[in-house]
């Protein structure tokens, strides 16, 4: 069974605001995206956003045989020249792999595929296969140099953990350059905001209850990205066990860290996306320690037992949703 909740972050758009709103939906990067842009050149900006997202997918897709990523993955140990954009995404993802001590690993693709997450042919690989797959996951063997990428034969890159956040960041930059001052872009589990709502109030972005259809809490956000990773977003079940798409690079199996979702809030969509995946792999304590050592983001950690923790920068920026007011929320402090 494959389950996809493309719009699992509920977005509350203000109605009746002054500038005109332009909205469109597009399917890209394996998810439904929704863009809402306010203001005079909204129509033009929407067209730009849709075209750009398709162009970026053409670079980053791991399954499209015409993509640059596919070319890198099938170069059999040789160098592949890539566009400046793929190079930038690879370099920034690799930095995050190093910074997170390999909780994020852009070479996880053979494991992701073996479990069936790109093919839809879901299966639980046997122990021997998992050992072999884990031995092939190693970001330190990826070489980047002058817009070229090289990796050992048998290893394959996957930008699934950072591409949507990067795309949101690129779109936000380009839309701002076009004069857009007010927009909200939902790219599956990634929300990128530009400015604030037309009224001047912050955007309100809901964080999904990993155990249900509703949202747990609502975050106030201005000009930032909000990215969630969770085991509930994409999974299959076999013999009563659930297996999801976020891999522990050490075992090549779904990461079971005790967390059921991680939401990251920050200025950089790429960073937020990479860290949502990495902190999910790390688990509650390691994630809190990582946050203490890195000032550039805030986080909401939801554990499998339903408990919620938020980092202190979010303390005054969230409200629990109706029906969840009784939940304890621990504030993680520096």
- The CA distance from 182 to 184, in Å, is 7
Question: By C-beta, is 106 or 184 nearer to ligand AMP?
Answer: 106
Does position 276 interact with Mg ion (CB under 5 A)? The reply is yes
Q: Which residue has the tokens 């750009």?
A: 52
Does position 229 interact with ligand AMP (CB under 6 A)? The reply is yes
Smallest distance from the beta carbon of 89 to Mg ion, in angstroms? 12
| Integer angstrom CA distances of residue 27 from 35, 211, 334 | 11, 25, 40
Does position 224 interact with ligand AMP (CB under 6 A)? The reply is no
Q: Which residue has the tokens 């199996």?
A: 253
3-state secondary structure of 210: coil
Does position 112 interact with ligand AMP (CB under 6 A)? The reply is yes
Closest CA to 113 of 56, 70, 81, 57: 70
Smallest distance from the beta carbon of 328 to Mg ion, in angstroms? 27
Question: By C-beta, is 167 or 308 nearer to ligand AMP?
Answer: 167
**320: Cβ contacts below 8 Å, ≥ 6 apart:** 216, 217, 327, 329
Smallest distance from the beta carbon of 168 to Mg ion, in angstroms? 11
Does position 288 interact with ligand AMP (CB under 6 A)? The reply is no
Question: By C-beta, is 218 or 275 nearer to ligand AMP?
Answer: 275
Does position 261 interact with Mg ion (CB under 5 A)? The reply is no
Give the burial class of 86: count Cβ atoms within 10 A of its Cβ; 0-12 exposed, 13-18 middle, 19 or more buried: buried
The residue number whose beta carbon is nearest to Mg ion equals 277
Other residues' Cβ atoms within 10 Å of the Cβ of residue 36: 17
Per-residue string for binding with ligand AMP, 10-49, x by CB under 6 A? Answer: ----------------------------------------
Smallest distance from the beta carbon of 65 to ligand AMP, in angstroms? 17
Smallest distance from the beta carbon of 190 to Mg ion, in angstroms? 8
Smallest distance from the beta carbon of 268 to Mg ion, in angstroms? 12
- The CA distance from 262 to 103, in Å, is 14
Could you tell me the sign of the dihedral formed by the alpha carbons of 43, 45, 46, 52, in that order? positive
Alpha helices (H) along 182-254 = none
Does position 260 interact with Mg ion (CB under 5 A)? The reply is no
- The CA distance from 313 to 332, in Å, is 9
- The CA distance from 218 to 310, in Å, is 12
Does position 259 interact with ligand AMP (CB under 6 A)? The reply is no
Given Mg ion, ligand AMP, none, residue 247, with its beta carbon under 5 to 8 Å by kind, binds ligand AMP
39, 110, 160, 206: residue in contact with ligand AMP (rule CB under 6 A):
160
Segment holding 215, helix H or strand E: strand 215-221
Closest CA to 208 of 183, 223, 191: 191
Does position 275 interact with ligand AMP (CB under 6 A)? The reply is no
Closest CA to 139 of 131, 148, 127, 149: 149
Does position 31 interact with Mg ion (CB under 5 A)? The reply is no
Does position 161 interact with ligand AMP (CB under 6 A)? The reply is yes
Per-residue string for binding with Mg ion, 158-197, x by CB under 5 A? Answer: ---x------------------------------------
CB 228 within 8 Å of CB 272: no
Kindly list the residues in this chain that would bind ligand AMP in the complex (CB under 6 A).
104-106, 108, 112, 117, 158, 160-161, 189, 229, 245-247, 249, 273, 276-277, 281
Kindly list the residues in this chain that would bind Mg ion in the complex (CB under 5 A).
161, 273, 276-277
């Amino acid at each position: 069974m494959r389950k996809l909740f493309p719009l699992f972050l509920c977005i509350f758009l203000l109605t009746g605001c002054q500038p005109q709103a332009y909205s469109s939906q597009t399917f890209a990067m394996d998810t439904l995206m929704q863009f809402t842009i306010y203001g005079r050149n909204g129509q033009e900006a929407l067209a730009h956003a849709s075209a750009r997202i398709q162009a970026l997918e053409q670079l980053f897709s791991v399954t499209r045989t015409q993509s640059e990523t596919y070319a890198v993955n099938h170069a059999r140990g040789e160098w592949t020249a890539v566009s400046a954009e793929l190079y930038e995404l690879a370099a920034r993802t690799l930095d995050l792999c190093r910074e997170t001590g390999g909780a994020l690993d852009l070479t996880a693709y053979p494991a992701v595929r073996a479990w069936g997450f790109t093919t839809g042919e879901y299966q639980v690989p046997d122990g021997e296969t998992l050992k072999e797959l884990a031995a092939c996951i190693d970001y330190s063997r990826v070489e980047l140099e002058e817009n070229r990428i090289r990796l050992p034969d048998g290893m394959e890159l996957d930008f699934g953990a950072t591409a949507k956040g990067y795309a949101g960041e690129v779109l936000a930059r380009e839309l701002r350059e076009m004069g857009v001052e007010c927009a909200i872009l939902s790219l599956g589990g990634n929300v990128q905001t530009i400015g604030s709502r037309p009224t001047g109030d912050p955007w309100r972005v809901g964080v999904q209850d990993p155990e249900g259809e509703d949202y747990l809490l609502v975050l106030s956000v201005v000009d930032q990205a909000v990215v969630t990773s969770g085991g509930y977003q994409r999974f299959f079940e076999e013999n009563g066990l659930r297996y999801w798409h976020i891999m522990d690079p050490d075992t090549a199996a779904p990461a079971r860290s005790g967390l059921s979702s991680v939401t990251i809030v920050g200025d950089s969509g790429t960073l937020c996306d990479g860290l949502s995946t990495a902190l999910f792999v790390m688990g509650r304590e390691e994630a809190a320690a990582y946050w203490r050592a890195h000032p550039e983001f805030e986080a909401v950690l939801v554990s499998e037992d339903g408990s919620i923790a938020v980092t202190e920068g979010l303390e005054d920026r969230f409200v629990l949703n109706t029906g969840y007011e009784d939940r304890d929320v621990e504030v993680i402090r520096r």
